[in-house]
Amino acid sequence: MTADVGTQVNTKVIANLLRGLAIDVETNPALGVRVVEALSAAHILDEHTEDLVTGEYQVVDDANPNATVPPGMLLAMQAARIDLLTLYRVGGAEQVRERLATLDVNALKRLILVQQLDPEKKTTKLRSAAKLIDFIVEVTGAQVQEEIERSRTASWML
């Protein structure tokens, strides 16, 4: 897919997607191979970089405590990829709360950090999962409302 001149992309969504992909690649060698093949086919990798990423390497073992990413950290990292805006748009605040209720405090804090929901660092001292969930739902709701307002003001151009 090529972008036409004037086409805009949501760089925040792309960055979050790539963060999640990086997590998955680190723990899934088969996916890593597919990513390298796609990058090579798209001529994104130069020869030196392609040589660095291809070859035979030790496979990461989730059961191994010396693995690159400990299993507990992996769960927190995967939780950080939750698409809050889509959840909110589809099921509202209750669906977001239901999904976040499955996470512990560390995973919630990682989600806030990775998705950059708290630039003012209001949640750094919070230790309660319920308060963190309230904060995430409030910020997500505000983002969805902002999107709705932007679409209304831009609708006159259609």
d(CA 113, CA 94): 22
Better pLDDT: 60 or 34: 34
| pLDDT for the residue numbered 155 | 58
pLDDT of amino acid 93: 94
- From the list 89, 93, 85, 145, the residue with the least C-alpha distance to 116 is 85
3-state class (DSSP) for residue 5: coil
pLDDT of residue 31: 78
**Chain segment 79-132, per-residue pLDDT in tens:** 667 889 888 988 899 999 998 988 888 888 888 988 889 999 999 999 999 999
DSSP string of 42-105, one letter each residue = TT-S-HHHHHHH-S--PPP-TT-TTSSS-HHHHHHHHHTT--HHHHHHHHHHHHHHHHHTTS-H
Please check whether residue 82 is in contact with residue 75, taking contact to mean a CB–CB distance below 8 angstroms. Answer: no
Paired tokens of 110: 């990682």
Tell me the CA distances in angstroms from 75 to 39, 110, 134, one per residue in order: 27, 10, 21
What gap in Å lies between CA 110 and CA 106, rounded to an integer? Answer: 6
Across 127-149, average pLDDT = 94
> Does residue 147 have a pLDDT over 80?
yes
What is the pLDDT at residue 73? 60
Instruction: State how far the alpha carbon of 5 is from the alpha carbons of 11, 13, 28, 113, in Å.
Output: 16, 20, 35, 33
> Has residue 133 got a pLDDT over 90?
yes
